[in-house]
Structure 1
């Protein structure tokens, strides 16, 4: 296949921006040019690469070409920075864009300081996703790197263990006295309202399974925000599994208490990234590893 760089850039921009018009603005060309380049790319590949929906979506074949397009875009950006490096911060028209998948709790606690140490020539596109599901975004080429709970490397990626986040079942003191005054048992867990991040959040159920051989289905609140989740537990909406990184001050001040003794769950975290020799990607990996070493359990 004869795949042209401008065609690959058009595909990447269309999927990233969601429409041909937005892709055209991003690349400073006309929507007609975007359409022609993608049609030429599909002719070269011999198959349909995009679903012309709103937003546009890559087909299964399109995902394979999209991964190539984003790898080339990253390497081209690295090369532009290297050629422009004269001992000062390089000035380039298009900064390197790094899409990364991060779980909400890591994003709210220790990841942002790591990203702040990145070069000014890098722009981040953060995809917030549960750590159990970030590998899907790596497989389909949506992101170049991810914080994941999976130790097995996605094909074409390399993996490094970062550490673990420790979660404990916590509640507002009044809530704990009302619902767990007689202790944390299968019966009290079945009655007490619980807070979950979303319907993919299994951490609370994983903890409850330790207390019962039967499924427990208490009243559930879904709060899809790390900050909002913690606030819901603090005001007594329900109990929830909260990371130690978010609760030390609350426990010291008596705003939160553990409801099940010293029970906890350690969630291991790994850094997975495309197996590319990219200074930009390597720099982010180094910053993430350093921040994780300071924040996570080893």
Structure 2
């Protein structure tokens, strides 16, 4: 199978942008040229690589070639920049990264700002227990994840842990837990949940009691708005210490169970590539994590 760079770039552009027209604009060619390159790539592979839907989606075979396309593009760009851009115009490297919402809102952005250099970042927000799926399908080159087991073709570095506490306003606690939080007392208490993948609140409840509950729940799929919902007394929720230090010091948010908490370990997973751009992002993330996250003693 012979793979040409312009065909691989066309595949990357189509699956990133979602349409042949948008891919053509990105690569400054015609939609017909994009179509011809994709067709030639599929003929060379002997497989259908993209589903001609809106948006265009990769087949299982297409995902495998997409990973290769993005690896080749990153390494080709790195080499061209080392050579001073000889041979073709070279822009900054594009580094897609999957990040959980709480990390994105608290410590990741300052880290990436320091790593910017010859890179720009395409951030994908996803729950830390699900970011590895984006690595598997080639959507991202790196991910902040709670999964220690490396995805095939990736390497893993531990970052530390984010501490979460079950918090609510004092008035909320007084109304719903007049005799104190205890096993079985959560069943009818309003709860805040990020989305249906968010299991932290239920993990806390399971630590208190084995009794299953189905409480009234507000779904608030924004890290900042989630915190606001708790501060407004709409319900209780598991909030990271990095977001609530001032609230807890002022007493405007209190722990439902004294010192109850859950530490969520975080890891940096990335493709095994000798890429200066990807390494710079990894180093910046590790440096920030060392000061912001809980580190093993």
Q: TM-score range by the shorter chain?
A: over 0.9
Cα displacement (A) at 1:254:
2.0
SS of the residue corresponding to residue 160 of structure 1 reads: strand
Contact 2:94/2:121 (<8 A) preserved: yes
Question: Conserved in 2, the CA contact under 8 Å of 1:197 and 1:223?
Answer: yes
Q: What TM-score results when the alignment is normalised by the length of structure 1?
A: 0.96
Residue correspondence of structure 1 range 22-61 to structure 2 within 5 A: 22-61=22-61
Counterparts of 1:167-206 in structure 2, within 5 Å, are 167-206=164-203
Partner of 1:116: 113
Match of 1:278 in 2: 275
- Indicate yes or no: 2:292 matched with 1:295: yes
Q: Contact 2:80–2:90 at 8 Å: present in 1 too?
A: no
- Per-residue CA shift, 1:184-210, capped at 9, x if unaligned? 123321111000000000000011011
State whether residues 81 and 92 of structure 1, in contact with CA within 8 Å, keep that contact through their aligned partners in structure 2: no
Offset at residue 212 of structure 1 (A): 1.6
Task: Say which of 117, 126, 131 aligns to 1:129.
Answer: 126
Count of equivalent residues:
294
Tell me which stretches of 4 or more aligned residues in structure 1 moved more than 4 Å.
Answer: none
Deviation at 1:83, TM superposition (A): 1.2
**1:258 is aligned to 2:290:** no
- Partner Cα separation in structure 2 for residue 275 and residue 251 of structure 1: 41
Partner of residue 230 from structure 1, selected from 217, 227, 230: 227
User: 1:261: Cα distance to partner?
Assistant: 1.1
Alpha-carbon distance between aligned partners in 2 of 1:221 and 1:37, rounded to the nearest angstrom: 47
Q: CA deviation at 1:85?
A: 7.8
Q: 2-side partners of 1:204 and 1:42: how far apart?
A: 46
Partner of 1:76: 76
Deviation string, structure 1 residues 66-122 (Cα, Å, up to 9, x no partner): 000000011111112211189xxxx95432111000000000001001000123421
Is contact 2:81–2:90 with CA below 8 Å preserved after alignment? no
SS of 1:23's equivalent in the other structure is helix
Q: Secondary structure at the match of 1:132?
A: coil
8 Å Cα contact 1:186-1:216 kept in structure 2: no
Structure 2 residue runs of 5 or longer lacking an equivalent are none
Q: For residues 110-139 of structure 1, what are the alpha-carbon distances to aligned partners after superposition, in whole Å with 9 as ceiling and x for unaligned?
A: 100100012342111100000000010001
Q: What is the TM-score when the length of structure 2 is the normalising length?
A: 0.97
Unpaired stretches in structure 1, ≥5 consecutive residues: none
1:63 and 2:32 matched: no
Cα 1:291/1:92, change in 2 over 3 Å: farther
Shift of 1:181: 1.8
Distance in 1 separating the partners of 2:271 and 2:171: 48
Cα deviations by residue, 1:166-185 (Å, 9 ceiling, x for unpaired): 00000011111111221112
Instruction: For 1:8 and 1:181, locate their aligned partners in 2 and report how far apart those are by CA, in whole Å.
Output: 63
SS at match of 1:271: strand
Q: How far does the alpha carbon of each residue in 1:195-252 deviate from its partner, in whole angstroms, 9 at most, with x for none?
A: 0000000000011011221211111110000001000000001000001111110111
8 Å contact from structure 1 (residues 74, 278) kept in 2: yes
